[in-house]
Amino acid sequence: MIYPGSFLTCFDNSGTKEIQCIRICQASPKKPGEIGKQLLVAVQSAVRKQRAKIQVGKLYKALLVQTKKAPVDAAGNSSQFANNLGVLLNSQGVPICSRFFGLLSYKIRKDGFLKLVSTAKSLY
């Protein structure tokens, strides 16, 4: 579960290493962010490349992909991961990157991010 102020690692090849959650979009301020929620994030560190479009300190939208704290669904299933991971999105909700590193959840498909699902290697 992610709260404002939480640090996440970036899950894609956009050039960012670490991002910080500023706000959880379309949710109450007291409720934590879960897998599939959009976040407003600030880039904390990035890879220094001349062709990188991402700048340190700028605000971007991100999609929460994996969390350390495992949410339990109605069937009683849960999935726990080692890191809190996010994917950077542009203003239209399309991912900035072209590749992801790891697994994506089926919850992302339900939320309508089909571009992410189609470029992922596998779903869990």
Tell me, yes or no, whether 2 lies in a domain. Answer: no
CATH code at position 30: 2.40.150.20
Q: In b/e form, how buried is each residue of 32-68, taking b as 16+ CB within 10 angstroms?
A: bbebbbbbebebeebeeeeeeebeeeeebbbbbbbbe
What residue numbers bound the domain in which 102 lies?
A: 7-70+78-123
Mean pLDDT calculated for residue range 58-65:
92
Report percent pLDDT > 90 for the chain: 28
Tell me, yes or no, whether 1 lies in a domain. Answer: no
Give the total number of structural domains in the chain.
1
pTM beyond 0.95, yes or no: no
Tell me, yes or no, whether 65 lies in a domain. Answer: yes
Summarised one tens digit per residue, pLDDT across range 63-119 is 998 888 877 777 887 777 888 999 999 888 888 888 877 777 777 777 777 777 777
